[in-house]
Structure 1
Amino acid sequence: MNKLLLTNVIWMGVLALSGCSNQMITDDPSEEATPVRDSTSLTTRAGKLSTYTAPTYADDYSSIADWSQRGNWNLANVHDPSVMKADDGYYYMYQTDASYGNALDGQGHFFCRRSKDLVHWSWVGSTMHRQPSWVAAKVNEYRAAMGLQPIKHFRYCFWAPCARKVRNGLYRMYYSIVVDNYIGNGKYNDAANWCNSWTERAFIGVMETSDPASNNWTDKGMVTTSSTDKGFNFYRPSGSDWNAYFKYNAIDPTYIICPDGKHYLLYGSWHSGIVALRINPNTGKPYTQQGNPWGDISSYGQLVYSRNLNSRWQASEGPEVVYHDGYYYLFLAYDELSVAYNTRVLRSKNILGTYYGKDGRNCTAKGGEAYPIVTHPYRFNGHSGWVGVSHCCVFDDGKGNWFFASQGRLPANTNGNPYSNAIMMGQVRTLRWTQDGWPVVMPERYGNVPQLTILESELKGKWQLIPLSYKVGQQCTSVSMTLGSNHKITEGFKAGSTWKYDKTASILYIAGIPMYLSREVDWESNPRKATIVFSGLSNYNSKNNLFTYWGKKTN
């Protein structure tokens, strides 16, 4: 189910660090008084961890989901987050309008909250108070050219903003608005109005501000719209026909300023794949003029990724692109968003491709499954776990520390609530880069745990490990693992194999597999506490070796 189809499920059904140290010290007792990364003694170091207080807000926020409780939400009611760091030192998070119980309905669009530490977030409010008038005008302009009657009563959906700092004193937010009316008769997309046609187009617009703290944004109008190579053949023989009318779906924008100074917008959702559109830095609009969005649609972007080159129904969306150390990394959301949502990543030396997976697949020219898996529905012991963990944003703090943010949904019937799958919690995680240049995301959410040097002695003991592999609509669950003395794995995962610790790189090797470490919060323990976690990748050298590994120290 894509976002267009899920709209009514959300709107109606609900109503019923990479900061790990690169400077390690040994476990030799004679060296344990040596100053560590933060130039404190081990006594002070231990005190920092023992006095650390983990976040206490509940994962199940249903009791405070109402609009009147928004001041207490923190990261409750977050969907499709986009995070940017502004000049005032705050991280600003923007989002899709979707919410549990439709709490955001009638309150505006593309809501904002902000934080100094990525843990405690304060509510800011709506950035768009009413839909821009240009959308209806543009739709009816296109309809007139197609020989269709104008739409008088519009129904809109507001999706997936992307906010970026362009330069000092200028910030842009690209946003999606979907017109949820049938093309054929112009009526609302309801079963009673079915007319054997596809629904109307989506648009990407742009707003600007000089000061995110003011929350005053000026709308600058249309950037692009859904385009088709089928002319005016918008006929859909049945609701089970998925050969979409629009080839490129104007939704889910991501924006990047390349090292050479060129600006690009990448976008696309479900229909045919992801395209890259060059942007004029001065206007935030397309670099070259776009023609009518039917027929020759080359001006609407260059295809950079397709999950299936022979299908108009991709089950991939939510692109996010960042540049790091010589590569462009393209993160993608896969599958329906209520349960199966999972995140993949590809990389390229060029913004326009070719994008490759870690398994060597050319996903630009040949299409296909993107690997590695970055996030997936999962469950550690002691918690219901999370599903729908995707549609990410990726950002850094300007000091070399990277983060990954997305929503996570609780599984259905959590705590006896039949609508718990519509509980959407914003989740921020530490992202580390592997030695061969791939991103891995930590399994536990970020809680601002002091990133003090991890000693080898701390790694010994019991762990929970989750092998993340592609299981459609299922949670990947944890297995046990014990790291014993003499660098032997004595129980559970890879029992009988060896482990070792690279102190310089902060990498734990499990049977030769590199696992990248971080101090994070054990969100499943009661009370929550600091622990050590890891994320790592298999060698990706065969179809049966496509794993991401998540681990958490339990004692």
Structure 2
Amino acid sequence: MRKLNLLFILALIVGLTTACKENGTGPNGNGGGDNGGEDEPYTGLYEDFYGPTYADDYTPLASWSSRSQWNLANVHDPTVVKDGEYFYMYQTDASYGNAHQGHGHYPSRRSRDLVNWEYREAVFDEAPAWVKDSLNNIRANMDPALPPIDNPRYGFWAPHVTKVGNTYRLYYSVVVTNPILGNDDTEYWTERAFIGLAESNDLSSNNWEDKGMVIHSVADGRETYTRNGGNDWSGYFKFNAIDPSYVVTPEGEHWLIYGSWHSGLAAVEVNPETGKPDELNDLEDFGVRIAGRGNVNSNRWQGLEAPEIIYNEDTGYYYLFLAYDELAVAYNTRVARSRNVTGPYYGIDGGNVTAGAEAYPILTHPYKFYGHHGWVGISHGSVFEDPASGKWYYSSQGRLPRDINGINASNAVMMGQVREIYWTEDGWPVVAPERYADVPDTTITEEDMVGTWEEIILRYQYQTMQTSYYITLNEDNTVEGQITGTWAFDEESQTLTINDVELIVDSAWDWEASPRRTTITYAGINSSGRSVWGKKVDN
């Protein structure tokens, strides 16, 4: 299979090279000028803007002693909020080579511009004591009662930061990885997860007051805690208490959103004063399902997680962002929307995501532009607004692909990524094709559109990177290359239309170019509900 893939790639490169020569451009994106056949280098939108230069392969700086140089290196499951002049980011305990171990839990960093990030200390020095107490109280009250676990093993995953009034709340996940029982050769599910809460009035201080448990994974009695071998992909818990997020409705209701795999994603109303449910006595107290995947009534191992809901007052919709599939390679981001915080949530194709339909649009997906290894594992997004500008952003980790020559365990290289979110005319979000670099906004003209572009359609293919192809926008408003047809540009709305697909245009930083430079990008959604990404590579 690898040999066939290699032959396909070689054939594709040859084909693209031939096509680009016919269009007057080389495969490196240089333009064919009128200077006697010599190529003129593409200088981009601005010649005097100097953006980020730090390498995507940060392994030489991955150690703990180099953390002051990390910037966005070693980021996983980020959550972002703004306090004063700074954006603050918190994350899962994860790093290349486990450099973070022994240095606290839920690492943090901050930035003034979303580009240059300062690493700071972790939120907690040690595991909160309440986790062990809560775990063993639950075990003692099970039927039959289970013995206490004296030394639980923990995972510290996926926090979420939000501002409520003048207080910042940090919801965090603690997973107990011990088996429910482990005294014989029987296979058991691992123990439950917990969501806790800490609060701070000043993020610059990094002082947090722990408020204890909010909610925990709940069993609904449909399964025992034994597994039928390693291929038993059912699930003991109904809702898995990880991946929290938080939303406040215009009516003043406060909702905790959470869940991962198992039986879907949940929303539970919480007390605005405490940030917690008032009761956790009955199954209904743990919330209602807002999204599933497949047959939600029988499938207890659904490949979705990391729910985050925002309310957009301009459109009047709640938007549910969620991650699909495994996180190492296949991870991709979807979105659905509803007029009600608990749903039902519908995709752009009308599918009922609450009832198990696949969510569309696809906002991120493993992809590769020319000249770079590309990115995989791009999901578990944090969606946040800059109150000063009113712009929306998407932040997540991206992983390098597997088996890159010269990089040991390349798929464990996790680079934090921040991308701008644009809103289509009919109220759907799309994510920028290039990472944010604070390139100055400018009015792009129709003349700027003329030239060669790389385009990617984010079609869904499990553990498969979507690769770019070339198209040319000609001066006579025709399109050549992989796509043919016509194009038009509306300077007032900064919208490019290629055939019948409307695309939002913006100035950007070409991270794949060597050397990097400014460029123009576009992003939109095609009639199939897949994101379309493009960047200009030729004058």
Q: TM-score, normalised by structure 1?
A: 0.86
Q: 1: distance between equivalents of 2:449 and 2:247?
A: 39
User: Structure 2: which amino acid aligns with 1:280?
Assistant: N
Per-residue deviation, residues 189-238 of structure 1 (Å, max 9, x unmatched): xxxx7532111000000000010000011110000000011178212121
Shift of 1:54: 1.2
Check the 8 A contact 1:429/1:446 in 2, yes or no. yes
Are the structure 2 counterparts of residues 67 and 164 from structure 1 closer, same or farther at C-alpha, using a change threshold of 3 Å?
same
User: Structure 1: which amino acid aligns with 2:333?
Assistant: T
User: Structure 2: which amino acid aligns with 1:302?
Assistant: V
User: Structure 2: which amino acid aligns with 1:177?
Assistant: V
Check the 8 A contact 1:48/1:450 in 2, yes or no. no
User: Structure 1: which amino acid aligns with 2:495?
Assistant: I
User: Structure 2: which amino acid aligns with 1:301?
Assistant: G
- Greater shift, 253-262 or 202-211, is seen at 253-262
Corresponding position of 1:216: 207
1:120 and 2:116 matched = yes
Q: 2: distance between equivalents of 1:492 and 1:338?
A: 33
Residues paired across the two proteins, number = 489
User: Structure 2: which amino acid aligns with 1:297?
Assistant: L
1:511 and 2:499 matched = yes
Corresponding position of 1:100: 96
1:535 and 2:520 matched = no
**Which of 246, 250, 262 matches 1:255?**
246
1:492 and 2:481 matched = yes
**Where do 1:116-155 residues align within 5 Å?**
116-146=112-142, 147-155=145-153
Secondary structure at the counterpart of residue 252 of structure 1: coil
Corresponding position of 1:160: 158
**Which of 427, 434, 454 matches 1:464?**
454
Per-residue deviation, residues 24-63 of structure 1 (Å, max 9, x unmatched): xxxxxxxxxxxxxxxxxxxxxx999322111011100000
Secondary structure at the counterpart of residue 137 of structure 1: helix
User: Structure 2: which amino acid aligns with 1:218?
Assistant: E
Per-residue deviation, residues 146-181 of structure 1 (Å, max 9, x unmatched): 21111112100000000011122x100000000000
**Which of 520, 525, 531 matches 1:548?**
531
Check the 8 A contact 1:65/1:73 in 2, yes or no. yes
Corresponding position of 1:171: 168
Corresponding position of 1:478: 468
Corresponding position of 2:334: 344
**Which of 429, 442, 446 matches 2:419?**
429
Q: 2: distance between equivalents of 1:367 and 1:316?
A: 11
Secondary structure at the counterpart of residue 351 of structure 1: coil
Per-residue deviation, residues 263-284 of structure 1 (Å, max 9, x unmatched): 1110000111111011111111
Shift of 1:258: 1.5
Unaligned runs of 5+ in 1: 1-45, 188-192, 540-544
Corresponding position of 1:381: 370
Check the 8 A contact 2:194/2:217 in 1, yes or no. yes
Unaligned runs of 5+ in 2: 1-42
Shift of 1:242: 1.1
The higher relative CO (CA closer than 8 Å, separation ≥ 6) is in 1
Shift of 1:128: 1.0
1:239 and 2:225 matched = no
Corresponding position of 2:38: none
Shift of 1:98: 1.1
1:59 and 2:56 matched = yes
1:316 and 2:304 matched = yes
Check the 8 A contact 1:228/1:245 in 2, yes or no. yes
Corresponding position of 2:76: 79
Secondary structure at the counterpart of residue 384 of structure 1: coil
Corresponding position of 2:381: 392
- Greater shift, 105-114 or 49-58, is seen at 49-58
Shift of 1:414: 2.1
Secondary structure at the counterpart of residue 240 of structure 2: coil
User: Structure 1: which amino acid aligns with 2:186?
Assistant: C
Q: 2: distance between equivalents of 1:164 and 1:429?
A: 19
Q: 1: distance between equivalents of 2:427 and 2:223?
A: 45
Q: 2: distance between equivalents of 1:357 and 1:528?
A: 36
Corresponding position of 2:28: none
Shift of 1:416: 2.4
User: Structure 2: which amino acid aligns with 1:479?
Assistant: Y
Check the 8 A contact 2:44/2:519 in 1, yes or no. no
Per-residue deviation, residues 286-323 of structure 1 (Å, max 9, x unmatched): 1x3111xxxx5111011111112121111100111111
1:275 and 2:261 matched = no
Check the 8 A contact 1:412/1:418 in 2, yes or no. no
Corresponding position of 2:21: none
User: Structure 2: which amino acid aligns with 1:202?
Assistant: A
Corresponding position of 1:195: 186
Q: 1: distance between equivalents of 2:265 and 2:197?
A: 19
Corresponding position of 1:303: 289
Per-residue deviation, residues 423-467 of structure 1 (Å, max 9, x unmatched): 000000011000000000011000000011111111100000001
User: Structure 1: which amino acid aligns with 2:101?
Assistant: D
Secondary structure at the counterpart of residue 416 of structure 1: coil
Check the 8 A contact 1:343/1:374 in 2, yes or no. yes
**Which of 490, 504, 509 matches 1:521?**
509
CA RMSD of aligned residues (A): 1.5
Using the aligned pairs only, state the percent identity. 52
1:502 and 2:502 matched = no
Shift of 1:330: 0.4
